[in-house]
Structure formats: C-alpha cells, structure tokens
Amino acid sequence: MLDMKWVRAHVEEVQEAADGKKIKIDITVLIERDDERKALLQHTEEARRRRNALSAEIGKLMQSGEREQAETMRAQVKELNEQLDQEEAKLAVIQEEVTRLQWLVPNTVSPDTPVGSSDADNVELRRVGELPVFDYDTRDHVELGEMHGLIDIPRGVKIGGTRSYVLRGAGLLLHRAVQQLALDLLMEHGFTPLEVPLMVREDALVNTGFFPTGRDQVYELHGENKWLVGTSEVPLVSYYADEVLDVKQPVKLAAVSTCFRSEVGSGGRDVRGLYRVHQFAKVEQVILCAPDAAESEKMLQEITGHAEELLQMLELPYRVVAVCTGDMSQKTYKQYDIETWMPSRGAYGETHSSSNLHDFQARRSNIRCVDEDGKLVYCHTLNNTAVASPRILIPLLENHQQADGSIYIPVALRPYMGGAERLILPEHEQGE
C-alpha cells in the first residue's frame, strides 16, 4: 500500500503502474472518493461536536429548572442524531469504497523495469552455462521419471486429480536433496531458517500484497478464515507484522515449505509433467532491510546471486531476465526471473523469481524501523525462490540424462543422495 499523500502527488506515475500491471483502477476516482470521505468525515465530526455541546447545555438547563428550553434542545439533539445516523451510514459506505480502491493501488516500478505486456517482453540480461548437445535420442522428464521409477503421474492424478503426481524412491530423494542443498547454502550466507504456518489468516495475504489481486490463485479453507499459502514469503514477512525492527544489518529469513496454488487461468498451458502443478515445495529467502533504495537494490542482487549459485552447483545452464511491467504483480517494484534450460521444451523455463518491493509490504504489514533521525519508517522487503521442486527436477533430469539412459548426479547433490554419482536404469528397462 502506498501513502495516500504520495499517491496524490504522483497520480500519473501510479496510474501508469496500474495500467502496466493490468490492474483495473482509476486513481483519480480514488482521490475523488477520498475527498468525499474527508468532507463527510469533517461534517459528521462537526455535527457530533454540536450534539455534544447541546447535550451539555441541556444538563445545565435542567439543573437551573429551565425545562421548556431544555426540551426544545432535546428535539434539536434528536434531529441531529437522525442526521448523524444517515451521514455515518454514508461514511461507512464511502470508507469501504476508498479502502477497497486503496488495496488495489499497485506499487510503482523501478526506472529500469522494461515496459511490456507479457513475459514475451521480458529482457534477457545474461546467460550462464553451455547448453547440452546430445548425439542420441533424448527423453523428457516424464519418460525419464517413468523409466527410473521416480515419477508416477497417473496414480497421482488418481489420488489428487489433475496436476497431481507422486515422487517415488530416488525421485523423492532428489526432491528433498535440492531443498536441503538450497537451505544449507542460505544458512552459509547468514539466513535464519524458520518452520512457518502454511495455513494463514486472510490479513496475512492482504498485508503481503497477494490479496486482493491474487485471490483466485489461493486455496481457501472454508469457514475458518484461513488460506493455504502459495509461498512461505507470506508467513516469513508476516512474522514481523506490527513490529519495530533493528535493521542496522538486514534481517535474513529462510523457510522450506510445501506450497499450494490453484493455477486458475493456466488451463491448457504446461499440462504435461511437473512444470505446473497444484502442490510443490519451495525454499524461500526473505530480507527486511532499511528503507534505502541503494540498500535494497544491493539485497536484490545478493538474493538473485544465491539462486544463481545454486543453479551453478546443480550444473545447469540458465539465463536471467528483467521482468517487464505486464508480467509483474501488484506488489513488485523490481523483479528478475531466472529461467533454466529445459531440453524437452527447447527453451528456458522459469524456475526462480527475485523481487524488491521497497516499503509496499511493510506499509501494509506495519513493519517499521528507526531511521538516523530517530523517526519510525517502513522497512524494505525482498524475496527470492532459492529453489522450487519438483519443477527444478525437469532440467535436472533432462540436462543430465546420458546415452545409456542413466542420469548424472551433480557433485553438489551427491552427499544428499548417499554418494551416488548417477541414477542407473532398473534392469527391466536396460536394453529397451
């Protein structure tokens, strides 16, 4: 949420951000409604003062025996109360409208954010790693997973419906291994690991900027005012809601969590395999720092670097792109995506996202710190996907497949896989 005084002074900039992010809001309407609210509030407060003054006068008149004049004033008070009831009802309606519009106001975007309408307009910044060259017929991750007994999608669908899966044996071990590798990496970089609630109250999603615009992506537990999170960013940021932090050194938090997303609006896209599923696991990194643009930009580069370091440890080729306005969410000020090469797609596929939100989340969540002048100010917040699985298993299996059907295990993962250097095909699959 942006400060209304700031919004009033930057109407064009905020409207441009809303239009770029495809958020349907007219900022001038918000300001007009807020002006109406202020005028009505002032009028009702003045009416209350008149009523209270009359009530006090009535008491004095009654004490002095001037009952007739007191009754006349009582009639005036009654009339004022009726008017106040009507005006307070109007005020409640317009306050609700102003609040609804305020929650829709997007974060503005950084000056170096590309302008565009979709992910096709994201701008490539760099490529790292060599694309694999195969001189034999390759298989996609589904075929490899089935051959090695790592993935069972039909039975997953039988149990949980579409976009469900089961990981078996070494498939589960790989899933757990990449998560532990990522967590260990973040702890080496000074992050504190947390186990957090995955069922959260609605205000946690509103305050972190996932509601109202992303409501259709989240599973609701009906009747409980609780929702299943699609990322542990929500509880990690909410951990410090309504608190004043010491951010002389950035506060660095990490969590490993199961995540749930409805994927509404993605029908027909990425339906094969593990790319777009309803349930997955993520290692998330969140930073809260001083509200200094240079400081949070530095943190953005740092957390993006951690994700890149992990991909290099997994020996996977990837690219980093600057996300354009039309591919950004309401809450984001600046964003990078990291896309990893997926041979079966013949393209890079998104595996990581890294965002700087400035004070957007902190304002909504009331997370503050003390500046150099001793004033309370709102912190900056940042987040990044250190790793998400099973999506990361797609490039991991496909890039590291071998001519004999085996799958090479990157050196960094071997300690988490019992020292194994590769996954060997079961005997009944060999020679086929």
Cα 402 to Cα 399: distance, rounded to the nearest angstrom? 9
How many C-beta atoms lie closer than 10 Å to residue 281's C-beta? 19
* Whether the bond into 390 is cis, omega within 30 of 0: yes
Classify residue 428 as exposed, middle or buried by CB count within 10 Å of its CB (0-12, 13-18, 19+). Answer: exposed
Give the position of tokens 């590309």. Answer: 114
Catalytic residues: 261, 276, 350, 353, 391
255: CB partners within 8 A, 6+ apart: 193, 194, 195, 196, 232, 235, 236, 283, 284, 286
Q: Which DSSP category does 218 fall into?
A: S
* Rounded (5°) CA angle 380-128-263: 60
* Whether the bond into 250 is cis, omega within 30 of 0: no
Three-state SS annotation for 51-109: HHHHHHHHHHHHHCCCHHHHHHHHHHHHHHHHHHHHHHHHHHHHHHHHHHHHHHCCCCC
Question: Structure tokens of 54?
Answer: 């009359």
Question: Structure tokens of 19?
Answer: 């239009």
Cα 347 to Cα 358: distance, rounded to the nearest angstrom? 32
Q: If you compute the radius of gyration of the chain from its CA atoms, what whole number of angstroms results?
A: 28
